[in-house]
Amino acid sequence: MKKTLYSALVLCATFFSSCNYLDVTPVGKVIPEYTEDFRALMTSSYQKVPPYKKLVTLRTDELLLPTEWDWSYDTYFDLCIWNDATPNPKATNYHYDEFYNSIFYANHIIEEQSKIKDDGTEPIAQVVAEAYAMRAYLHFTLVNIYGQPYSTETVNSKSIPLSLKIDIDQQFPRALLGDVYTQINSDIAEAERRMQKQTQPAPINYRFSKESLQALKARVALYQNNWEQALVNAQSVLAMRPELEDLNDQSAKAPYHFESKEAILALVEFVDMDIQDYQPITEELVSKYNKEEDKRFSLYFRKSGSAYKVAKGARGPEKSEIRTAELYLIAAEAAAHLNKDAQAKEFLLALTQKRLTPEFFTAESARVKALNHDDLIREIADERQRELALEGHRWFDLRRTTRPRIVKTNGTTEFVLEQNDPKYTIRFPKSAVANNPLLKD
């Protein structure tokens, strides 16, 4: 493929309707040959991952609606009220092309892996492993935005296109949901076979490692309701990385910070200053916390008049994708669904012990230990909301579990997302459909 990457990149950038990639810029004019050249391509793949989390958060029950005098009103309002059909022309589009742009770089590394020349900078297998992991992660994220939630009833539903090779003449039809997950798990397995690095230190912990790959594997299993595998994978990560930030210690870092001892994969910015400045959190979210005894509340939120606004992220180098706390919550949820309630409670309390004041934890520990099975499932869901608030998990958690009715109001009008509403699956952006009519099928 020596004509290869430069030609393909230029063609893809020029003829988007032919290959469905956008804004791809060649890495200089040198055709990659050596390990460090392919590391540069892998870095481009990481850099192209869009800040999708803040947009899906707008659909949740975590934030109040922006008001007409807010700068972000035209940009975000339609996203907040699930108006995907006729949005304001100024409304931000959900990310789509950017994901496939990132996959493009990973695909080139995968295709050319046998031709990479070892320059001694790092193992070739590590770069290739990260490319497989990235492709799995990106398809997984895409299918949970634009595909139906995974279940035995939806595996044969059409979801997203799979992008597995570089061919400017190929078509991109929508793949079946089950086939997308089969490919995701296949790519994870290929990454596992090659991965060399146990962990990645800050500030390069945006890169995949054995640890973060296993964590991704646990998350994928959870979303597939594969409770046994989710528990095994989460426990495997916790055996490597059990540490949590103790928020009773004044020297503790914010758990979502990329330098936190909990940071496993620090890849995506999850809120922005528009959300922080203009959109208070809902009373429903406030009510989930004991404001005085839960140390997260004053760390995550700030008082603003009579309401609370987001303090997390965006004003510092705070990127997150996977952190240790999530693995405790995956393990708890999986164990509970396997009717291992005592074990689920142990995972839950191991987390909350590091988040609550000692006195309050003592009371909470007794309460949690007394929960029946159904109440335990609800408690784990509540704890996920408390711990991972505004980090981009809530929309996906709502989709994959109860898909509840959500009501939002701007003071004069009610906007309703009904239970099990089809809008729990986001429409493809109009620009994507225009460039790939097969998305209509």
34-87 per-position pLDDT tens digit: 999 999 999 999 999 999 999 999 999 999 999 888 888 999 999 999 999 999
Classify residue 91 by burial, with Cβ atoms within 10 Å: 0-12, 13-18, 19+. Answer: middle
Identify the domain containing residue 243 by its residue range: 227-425
Please list, in sequence order, all residues whose beta carbon lies within 8 angstroms of the beta carbon of residue 361, skipping any fewer than 6 positions away: 349, 352, 353
pLDDT reported for residue 168:
78
Structural domain includes residue 272: yes
Structural domain includes residue 333: yes
Higher per-residue pLDDT: 150 or 22 = 150
264-290 per-position pLDDT tens digit: 999 999 998 889 988 999 999 999 999
Into how many domains does the chain fold? Answer: 1
Report d(CA 127, CA 115) in Å as an integer.
13
pLDDT reported for residue 12:
46
Structural domain includes residue 378: yes
387-416 per-position pLDDT tens digit: 999 999 999 999 999 999 999 999 889 999
**DSSP letter (8 states) at residue 412:** S
With 70 as the cut, is the pLDDT of residue 3 above it? no
Going by pLDDT thresholds of 50, 70 and 90, the confidence category of residue 105 is very high
Phi/psi of residue 365, nearest 5 degrees: -60, -45
Tell me the pLDDT of the chain averaged across its residues.
92
Encoded tokens for 155: 């595996």
**DSSP letter (8 states) at residue 149:** P
293-348 per-position pLDDT tens digit: 999 999 999 999 999 999 998 666 578 999 999 999 999 999 999 999 999 999 99
What is the CATH number for 303?
1.25.40.390
With 50 as the cut, is the pLDDT of residue 10 above it? no
Structural domain includes residue 131: no
pLDDT reported for residue 316:
60
147-176 per-position pLDDT tens digit: 999 999 999 999 999 999 998 778 999 999
With 80 as the cut, is the pLDDT of residue 16 above it? no
Going by pLDDT thresholds of 50, 70 and 90, the confidence category of residue 6 is very low
With 70 as the cut, is the pLDDT of residue 29 above it? no
219-251 per-position pLDDT tens digit: 999 999 999 999 999 999 999 999 999 999 999
* DSSP labels, 225-236: T-HHHHHHHHHH
Structural domain includes residue 316: yes
Return the number of other C-beta atoms located less than 10 Å from residue 346's C-beta.
Answer: 16
Structural domain includes residue 340: yes
pLDDT reported for residue 317:
56
Structural domain includes residue 241: yes
Structural domain includes residue 138: no
Beta strands (DSSP E) in 126-282 are 263-265
